[in-house]
Chains A and B, each alone.
Chain A
Amino acid sequence: MLLGFEAPSIDFHALAPEIVVTATLAVLILVDAFTPKQAKSAQSSIAGLGLLLALVPVVTLAVDGGTRVMFEGAFVVDTFSLVLTGLFLVSGYVVILLSQTYIAEGDYWEGEYYQLLLASILGMMVMASARDLITVFIALELLSIPAYMLAAWRKRDLRSDEAGIKYYLMGVFASAVLLYGMSLLYGLTGTTMLSEIATKLAGEDVPSAAVLAIVFIVVGFGFKVSAVPFHTWAPDTYEGAPTPVTAFLAVASKAAGFVALMIVVFGAFPFRVDIVEPLFWALAVATMFVGNLIALRQTNVVRMLAYSGIAQAGYMLAPLAVAGTVGDAAVQSILIYLMIYATMNLGAFAVVIAASRKTRSGELTSFAGLVRYAPGLAVAMAMFLFSLAGIPPLGGWFAKFGIFKTLVEADSAAGYSLAIIVGVNSVIALFYYARVAKTMIMDDVPDGDLSPVQVPVSLRAAISITLVLTVVFGILPQLVAGLTDNATLLSAVAVP
């Protein structure tokens, strides 16, 4: 085996999205090399176009249906991965829309920015299909390393530096812990294929080292999804990073983290729910409470959104705590949540970016009375926030509903207790979401300056897309839910 080389059969259709994005990346680098510094505006367009183009094979693959397995099962294209690939591509596109003016006006490095963004998205796409420890690790690093740089993008701003440094240090430290866990896992099972690991870990007893490995791996990805107590980097990074990057980290990067969690939990530990479930129960509860409670005290909108994102991650962790009982239903509910969460959270960041063009600050007080001079922005923001709070008929309700449904479906103490805790936290969360809406709509403008906000077209487009989707998802949740109908991670696992 070691000597004879057998070329792996490559399904180019299955790899088409990744190939398109890689090609776009190459084009970007080429174009960047040959355009003067003042004419980088084509970069964003090319990047955006590339992402949209990558959606085409995603759609054709989805229409085609079926599961495509490559590299001896290390890379799988199925409903699960397609839904997520689509999500990453669309989120990436919206992030590009958000970034366009921000980056162009900020005199930053436009060319490199989009290249790194695309690289990170590529990492995420790979993550969605990875079913093997090495692939997962590579995908993780591919999506993380560009993100460290993006976080520190405003390199003359100390806050941005701080954001980058903290993110980086915590990120690599967590990766290291994760890797250590992976190495133990490998040592115990002798394979990097998740499905094989799963089989090996099945059975009555499991060595302590395996427990350690499982915990370390969960911790490593827990960092990525900013689960408490591995969340500490998130508020600081979110606040300091350029807002479009923050949006990207809060949505796409977090989604990637969840993808990784789901892949390892369902792919590698489906028979070790005795460890995984209580672990996630504890993480989910801590994440919800800490995120929400600290968010209550925030005065900076971006920082508040960061903590809100932590809390939202807590909701998404909850189904994993009943993964053993409900199986793929947990995957589906998390996928639904991720899609709706991406929509509304990107929308919220878009409004913050738009409004900050005038206020030049993320402080809540500076948004007071927004409705007087930018009613559209204020109403849109209110809708995003209340969607995040889970108020029907805005999309967020169905996301939360899916969580509730999964938890109740488990019909276990863990499930019901989490359902109640999610309910309580929804109420706490409403408090700060509503406070932002209140400040923007019910308070007076601080300096009485009623001049309107100039919202560039790209931002308008981003807000419109996310707003429409938020409302439509709320009224017709089937549009989202239907996508996940066949999403499964368990079918690949052979019951020993």
Chain B
Amino acid sequence: MDFTSGQFWTSPITYMVFVPVVGALVMLLVPKANETAHKVLALVTSLVTAAIGISILTAFNYDSAGELQGVVDTDWIPFINANWIVGVDGISLPMIALTLLIVPLCVVYSWDHIPSPGNAKAFLILILVLDTGMLGSFVAQDLILFFVFFEVVLLPMYFMIGVWGGENRQYASIKFFLYTLFGSALMIVAFISLYFLSGAETFSMIELPGLAQSITHGWQLVIFGGMLIGFGIKVPMFPVHTWLPDAHTQAPTVGSVILAAVLLKLGTYGFIRIAIPILPEAARSYQWLIGLLAVIGIIYGALCCLAQTDMKRLIAFSSVAHMGYVMLAIATLTTFGINAAIFGMVAHGLITGMLFFVAGSTKERYHTLEIKRLGGLLKQAPRMGWILGLATMASLGLPGLAGFWGEFPAILSAYDPTNADYSTGFFGVSNLVLFRVFMVVAAIGTVFAAGYLLFLFQRVAFGVPSEEFEHEPIPDVNRFEWIAWVPMLVLIVVLGVYPNLIFSVTDSTVAPMMQLAAGG
């Protein structure tokens, strides 16, 4: 960062990204014992961040959402031509909004849900650091900047899982870490290859889409392959998804929520923001493979869900399936598909986040998430039961709720992928035929989704409580849970009813981007 640059200091994006870290630093100075002060500080910080973020969102010119707005471009590491380039456009906007929403809610939820072994100070500081990492990733327009922010989230999440997680937390946390690091290593090699092979020696995401076309096709394939694995791990795509169920299951509630709501989106965001616009030609070559892995993920995730006996683990596997839809939509390489993917990302974030919230609160009340030991949640805590119902319905893609708009348009877009006549590496079958098969498989996947989610809902919420919990007082949704959940529930419904809130924003960015990608 060129600290002498006025641009840097006057841009609200700078403040949005760094306020959480400043808040965290302030919290470092407050003694550990004063938990209330920490909670208030964390909440205030996240709210201030959100306020700055909202000011950015309101200042955003929605009529030209296709353009990158609020761009700041100053030196950062001149040695490698990496610059501090940030900006907001229609693709990053929904992601930023999602982050700005989720973090304060997580802080509120943590008010009386600091998981064992306590230490609100450290826990909340980690959330704030995560906030910076996530926001930074979504505003970054320089590959190296993106990479650094992308990785910033790693450590806080590792510690969140490792310290505040469940019984098997250490295995889960290290697995999460190793997988992601492996992906990052490939990713960074890919970025550097771009830097040199494009002949421009730049990491700017704004310039690279135009410059990278000179790279030979073979190298494009190799570079894209690196990104495919790097981002694919984060998504997570089959078969590099296995870190996710463990991480989700073991993570504390808030960790799971942030992981599901925002962190997984970094992978798909990477595809949409970096891999495809910069290397569209390679994307077209990999298209069928991504699609294939996506539908395998859909079915595979669903089947694994059916085998689960633990509520949280089931929800975790459902993420594999849901992100499969997002990837399928991305694989079509159509404006339609990418729009669907972005919607799917937001919807999945809200819905799965919500499911994890409920699972966390259930665990807190019953001290178990064994599906067969649960039951009658509706009887003992009816409001929570119905919230779970709404979330499962949203998750299985019920129209009128947000999940549908991620799922259906994805299926729709799979009917008509770009480059339809391309003879794929899959036995030379054309893209068109292959993706239509994918479409049918994805549609069948919705049945499975309904199957496992309803199974979950039936066993957990319906029926009567088992004997062991029959006489336990199970409190219903409490104040903090309400505050944390209501915005998400409202958004799930509102986005479901009026999806244009997101589509209108993303479309104007995605359409020209894909046109550029298609036109070469």
Contacts and interface: CB of A to CB of B under 8 A. Distances in A.
Q: Are chains A and B touching directly in their complex (CB below 8 angstroms)?
A: yes
Interface of A: 382, 386, 389, 391-393, 397-398, 401-402, 404-405, 408-409, 411, 416, 419-420, 422-424, 426-427, 430-431, 434-435, 438, 441-442, 474, 476-478, 481-482, 484-485
Main secondary structure of the interface of B (DSSP, over half): helix
B195 A438 contact: no
Given A393-B151, A404-B192, A427-B185, A482 B78 contact: yes
B182 A427 contact: yes
Contacts of A401: 80, 144, 188, 192
Contacts of A484: 79
A438 B174 contact: yes
A391 B159 contact: no
A423 B186 contact: yes
A481 B185 contact: no
Contacts of A435: 174
A426 B195 contact: no
B79 A408 contact: no
A402 B1 CA distance: 18
- Most chain A CB neighbours (cut-off 10 Å) among B1, B154, B177: B177
Interface of B: 1, 75-80, 144, 147-152, 154-155, 158-159, 162-163, 169-170, 173-174, 177-178, 181-182, 185-186, 188-189, 192-193, 195-197
B79 A477 contact: yes
Given A391-B151, A482-B78, A441 B159 contact: yes
A481 B144 CA distance: 15
A411 B189 contact: no
Contact of A391 (B79, B80, B154, B170): B154
Contacts of B178: 427, 430-431
Given A408-B192, A419-B189, A420-B189, A478 B152 contact: no
Contacts of B77: 398, 476-478, 481
Q: With a 10 A CB-CB cut-off, give which of B79, B155, B181, B196 has the most chain A CB atoms.
A: B79
23 contacts: A386-B155, A391-B151, A391-B154, A392-B149, A392-B151, A393-B151, A408-B189, A411-B196, A420-B189, A423-B188, A426-B181, A426-B185, A430-B177, A434-B174, A438-B173, A438-B174, A441-B163, A442-B163, A442-B170, A476-B77, A478-B78, A481-B77, A482-B78
A474 B196 CA distance: 23
Contacts of B195: 405, 408
A478 B79 CA distance: 6
Contacts of A481: 77-80
B252 to A, nearest CB: 13
B181 A408 contact: no
Contacts of A424: 182, 185
Contacts of A477: 77, 79
A7 to B, nearest CB: 41
Nearest to A422: B185
Nearest to B185: A423
Nearest to B163: A442
B174 A404 contact: no
Contacts of B155: 386, 391
A408 B177 contact: no
A405 B162 contact: no
A478 B84 CA distance: 12
Contacts of B173: 438
Contacts of A478: 75-79
A416 to B, nearest CB: 8
Contacts of B78: 478, 481-482
A402 B163 CA distance: 32
6 closest cross-chain pairs (CB), A and B: A423-B185, A481-B79, A392-B151, A392-B148, A408-B192, A427-B182
